[in-house]
Amino acid sequence: MQHFNLITILLVLLLTLLTPTNGGSIGINYGRIANNLPSAIKVVHLLKSQGLDRVKVYDTDPSVLRALSGSQIKVTVDLPNQQLFAAAKAPSFALSWVERNIVAYYPHTQIEAIAVGNEVFVDPSNTTKFLVPAMKNIYRALQKHDLHNDIKVSSPIALSALGSSYPSSSGSFRPELIQPVFKPMLDFIRETGSYLMVNVYPFFAYESNADVISLDYALFRPNPGQVDQGNNLRYTNLFDAQIDAVFAALSALKYDDVNIVVSETGWPSKGDSNEVGASVENAAAYNANLVRKILTGSGTPLRPKADLTVYLFALFNENQKPGPTSERNFGLFYPNEKKVYDVPLTVEALKNYHDNPSPVAGGASQPSPAEGGGNGGVSKSTTGNTWCVANPYADKNKLQAALDFACGEGGADCRSIQPNSTCYNPNTLVSHASFAFNSYYQKQARAGGSCYFGGTSYVVTQEPKYGDCEYPTGY
């Protein structure tokens, strides 16, 4: 009997050595701003065929939640920004929402989290003050049905919620958001055992600063890296630098115990001529190398033991998304379910994966701390100027709301577009919004995600021309 036990122990040890390191988890965002997507039932089959066991959706569409029933796929649902006011002001609305969209499907549909809003701080509708009250009311509604221990409540933030993110050690939240929003939200997350959702896009930082960031650094490929003089840690990829900036911001407020889930990250396979780095090869490399990093248990320099859950963006190319071409080309799959490119999404699939970079990598060397502090985990480009402008085809109501946000809560310098001022003419919504968007974008040091405004804007590399007005490139 002892001999048998010894053999068993040896076999277990051998299997342990041969098994890849337990790492984090990979999920995917299932966006549906398109008119040509497959049915939800087909989507569930696709997810399972790829070995994906986590999905994040942007609403609580009954057909999607029903299709996911019994699939064993964990689901994060979203309470949209436009419902934050009602959820914050009326506990009865929050209770009704939870009963209609959560209780009706759980546990057969394995809802594991509720994202209350999405990137609320850059939402042009000024919903920030309703965020934490809405989160609390949704949580109380879960409590009434004894689901508060099973389903987490959080809210995805964009990286532009940071006032500083380069170098990573200087990471801090925007000062005007700390007392009214971040402290109460982080207290809530800590008390309920939840986590902070963060949307991170190294692509946007690279696109705006390709002259000072190497493509290898952005795509997790071998490179010398850079040492953060603030913490003496070496960074070899932009993703880690951006995540650690968020960890540093949490630490600065004494919330070291709050965990992070990366609720969105990705790279477009196609873009406009001025969208540097948007290509099939780069998208495949970014996503595959990220998957390998996450699934093989690699944390960040600041948190080497952090097993991150990461949701790739996105499942499909979405043909009705506004903005530049890249916005419609973040998908891993075409609507006909064919792969845009090959990405291993499981530990098993990684065994056959090899990143094959082209001979021309593009970009320049990584930024050094001496080059000055920018946002988005990188220094601000000094030679490749970029501007943020309004999309002339955007919905006029959304554009007006975004302009109001930029000149109000966003803190853009809008004095020049007031009557009788230098940039008042031409007196059009598009020209005024472009000036305000660009002011905000430059003040945020062109951080990834700071030229979004609900999809009503995009980045350009040639200076905008509206009358005789000059558009600043930095503050």
Strands 156-158 and 195-199: parallel
CB contact set of 360 (below 8 Å; sequence gap of 6+)? none
Q: Phi and psi of 28, rounded to 5°? A: -145, 145
Partners of 459 in beta bridges: 388
Contact predicate 239/308, CB 8 Å: no
Q: Which of 207, 264, 318, 409 is catalytic?
A: 264
How many other C-beta atoms can be found within 10 angstroms of the C-beta atom of residue 318?
Answer: 20
d(CA 75, CA 112): 6
CA nearest neighbour of 77 among 22, 32, 117: 117
**119 is an active site residue:** yes
Contact predicate 328/33, CB 8 Å: no
Element (H, E) at 78: strand 74-79
d(CA 212, CA 195): 33
| Four-CA torsion 354, 358, 364, 368, nearest 10 degrees | 10
CB contact set of 420 (below 8 Å; sequence gap of 6+)? none
- The tokens 């997790």 sit on which residue? 220
d(CA 371, CA 140): 48
List alpha helices for 321-445, DSSP H: 347-350, 396-407, 429-443
Residues 363-387: b if buried by 16+ CB within 10 A, e if exposed: bbebbebeeeebbbbbbbbeebbbb
CA nearest neighbour of 156 among 99, 77, 219, 83: 77
**409 is an active site residue:** no
Q: Which of 99, 112, 119, 371 is catalytic?
A: 119
C-alpha distances (whole Å) from 365 to each of 60, 369, 418 are 44, 13, 42
HSE value, Cβ hemisphere, 13 Å, CA-based, for 349: 15
Active-site amino acid positions? 119, 264
